[in-house]
Amino acid sequence: MAIESIRVPEVGESVTEGTIATWFAQVGGTISAGEPLFELATEKVDSEIPSPVSGTIVEILIPQGGVVSVGDAVIKIDTEGGSSQEKATNNAAETVNESPAAPAEKSEPPARRARRSKRQAAAASSAAPPLPPMPPGLAVDEPVTLARTVEVGDGDSFQTFSRIRAVTGRIVAESNLTVPHALSLVEADHAGIFRARDAVAARGGRPPTALAFIAVAVARALGEHPVLNSSVGDGGLVLHSQINLSFAVATDDGLVAPVVRNANQLTVSGMADAIVDLARRARSKQLSPDDMTGGTFSISNNGSVGSVLTAPVITPPQVAVLSTDQVVDRAVVLERDGVKSIAIRPVGNLAMSWDHRAMDGADAASFLTRVKEIVETTDWSSVV
């Protein structure tokens, strides 16, 4: 019998630990290389970890709900043949020539251990006020991937937070406690975007969503307004050299915000493909933690669910987040050669929450006005 201990793999540069949210294997069962072995829940994203080998499950070392570090052994698999009964019997009688996984603090590189300690200390010092306790009888000793609902009497029910909902709640609570939010808004005429989409459709192609056009405009404007593409540091701003856009994606488990890197280098079609790919992988739990890190500016497409005005919450340490709201037909005043007229145009609000520590209203308004100008004056048909 050849026993192999499977360890928690590195799932991202910034991730050192997580929780076994779900086991897809059971003792005595078989698994093939590449099949999902367990789901690892981290602060950033849940990932299905595939088995690196084929064989029979001999022993599960970490129970569902257990906290693990990168490199910890979590399960033992017999990679040779034999019946499940035989393997279980042999496993009980045989001492495997392998010591248990060393604690993370012994095997973890010093630099990574220091980053983890700093992150944990920061989380503890910035914790949001405690929430009311759960009702009696509701298990709280294991992580919850999806929300659960229980009856609590008098026709009322109590719904637990899903893990992602809980993380989101902590982040937005911290944001509201520490970030002085301000809101600015412009109305953008989407007629040029719609003409470009119609042209793509006429050629038999699949038109990019309006979000892709707005994202390209935002990326261009960020290159001209570096204070919007920054993070709040100790006593100042970190002005980022890369423009990495975080996009809010709604999943069954809650909201996640994967990142499109170097967004200013993408065409509209490239941006549309990147957004579609992130959304698909987010909803099928195929994002890696690295997909969730490095964002320098966020976009939330609330218009896709009918909102016409949204005041989004900033994700620290970013300094701004833009909401693209629903495009609706409006009567607007147009001026040409000194003559004014009223026309029906497709108009959508671009509402941006921004950190008043990082900038003043003039900076925010200048940036939004530039985004509006790019949206309305670009010949999008020539750049799709």
360 included as an active-site residue: yes
pLDDT reading at 114 higher than 80: no
Of 253, 356, 363, 379, the active-site residue reads 356
Residue 207 and residue 170 share a domain? no
**Cα 291 to Cα 9: distance, rounded to the nearest angstrom:** 16
Q: Please tell me whether residues 80 and 187 are part of one structural domain.
A: no
Q: Which of 39-48, 202-211, 222-231, 258-267 has the lowest mean pLDDT?
A: 39-48
Are 187 and 241 members of one domain? yes
The answer to whether 50 touches 43, Cβ cutoff 8 Å, is no
- Same domain? For 90 and 159 the reply is no
Q: Which band of pLDDT confidence, cut at 50, 70 and 90, is reported for residue 123? A: very low
**DSSP secondary structure letters along 91-132:** HHH---S-PPPPPHHHHS-HHHHHHHHHHHHHHHHTPPPPPP
CATH code of residue 215: 3.30.559.10
Candidate list 46, 154, 277, 360, residue with the active-site label: 360
Tell me the pTM: 0.70
Interatomic CA distance for residues 181 and 320, integer angstroms: 9
Do the domain assignments include residue 101?
no
Distance between CA atoms of residues 279 and 282, nearest Å? 5
Transcribe 31-57 into DSSP letters: E-TTSEEEEEE-SS-EEEEEPSS-EEE
Give just the sign of the alpha carbon dihedral 143, 122, 281, 288. negative
Provide the β-strand partners of residue 318. Answer: 231
CA within 13 Å, CB half, 152: 13
Which of residues 124 and 209 earns the better pLDDT score? 209
Whole-number percent of the chain with pLDDT over 70 = 81
Domain region containing 19? 3-94
pLDDT value of position 201: 93
Residue 127 lies in a domain: no
What is the spatial distance between Cα 228 and Cα 226, in angstroms, rounded to a whole number? 5
For residues 322 and 184, is the Cβ–Cβ distance under 8 A?
no
Q: Is the same domain home to 162 and 202?
A: no
Q: Give the count of domains, the chain.
A: 3
pLDDT score of 113? 53
The pLDDT confidence band at residue 101, using thresholds 50, 70 and 90, is very low
Question: Any idea which of 44-48, 99-103, 147-151, 215-219 has the lowest mean pLDDT?
Answer: 99-103
Does residue 160 share a domain with residue 83?
Answer: no
pLDDT at 159: 81
Buried b (16+ CB within 10 A) or exposed e, 76-114: bbbeeeeeeeebbeebeeeeeeeeebeebeeebeeebbe
196 and 82 in a common domain: no
| Residues 170, 184 share a domain | no
Measured distance CA(185)–CA(70) in Å, rounded: 44
Residue 173's contacts (CB-CB under 8 Å, 6 or more residues apart) are 128, 129
H helices of 179-209, in order, are: 191-202
What pLDDT is recorded for position 140?
Answer: 43
pLDDT at 94 over 50: no
Residue holding tokens 């915000």? 257
pLDDT winner (highest mean) among 27-41, 50-64, 84-98, 344-358: 344-358
Instruction: Calculate ∠ Cα 51-56-59, nearest 5°.
Output: 85
Domain limit, last residue, from 70, 94, 118: 94
Asked if the model's pLDDT at residue 382 lies above 90, the reply is: no
309-225-315 Cα angle (round to 5): 50
- Statement to judge: residues 235 and 283 lie in one domain: yes
**213 domain residue, yes or no:** yes
Report the C-alpha gap between 127 and 148 in whole angstroms: 24
Q: Which of 180, 379, 214 is nearest to 297 (CA)?
A: 214
Rounded mean pLDDT, 265-273: 96
**Cα separation of 165 and 144, whole Å?**
10
Instruction: Please say if the pLDDT value at position 210 is more than 80.
Output: yes
Q: What is the pLDDT of residues 303-322, one digit of tens each?
A: 989 999 999 999 999 999 99
In a domain, 100, yes or no: no
